Amino acid sequence: MDQESIVYGCIKDARADLLASDRVSANRNAMLSLPRADDWPFLCQEMFAIPHRQINQGNYQTEVMHFGASYKAVEYEWEQWVASFESLLAKMYWVSATVHLETELSGTHTFTWESNANFHAPGSGDMQVSCEWSHEGGLGF
């Protein structure tokens, strides 16, 4: 049986009504610049809930851009996945980003990116990442 890995999470930004429309557009354009799923990239447009052009007034405090995908043992190529994700984050405005990696053999890993400032702006390079690992159960023997 193939080893399935599930990757999901969200990128959070300030409340939508506090954002300028160019900020929302920059985040949208960054996600739309990703390749389509047919090209087998680590990240693709289809795995993201891409926000609409207009500012969504339905959000309470935080603009949340969520994503998720299923991979075949992506943990063996995790450094490349993270590099692709950080390349996307470098083009976006955000306050924090969280990625959950669920693996069959290595448990669950949670990665969190935060900005050294109040928020990250495109090209600012002020990201820091932390990882938390948890493992529940055995190998199923």
**Domains in the chain: how many in total?**
1
Q: Give pTM, 2 decimals.
A: 0.85
Q: What is the pLDDT along the chain (141 residues), one digit of tens a residue?
A: 578 999 999 999 876 555 567 788 889 999 999 998 877 778 999 999 987 765 555 556 678 899 999 999 898 899 999 999 999 999 999 999 999 999 987 888 999 998 888 888 888 877 777 777 665 544 443
CB 32 within 8 A of CB 45: yes
Per the structure, the complete domain to which residue 14 belongs is given by: 4-134
Is residue 140 one of the residues assigned to a domain? no
Q: How many CA atoms lie within 13 A of 72 on its CB side?
A: 4
Is residue 115 one of the residues assigned to a domain? yes
Is residue 70 one of the residues assigned to a domain? yes
Is residue 141 one of the residues assigned to a domain? no
Q: 14: which strand partners?
A: 62
pLDDT for 3 equals 87
Is residue 139 one of the residues assigned to a domain? no
Cα 122 to the center of its chain, rounded Å = 15
pLDDT for 139 equals 45
Is residue 109 one of the residues assigned to a domain? yes
Is residue 82 one of the residues assigned to a domain? yes
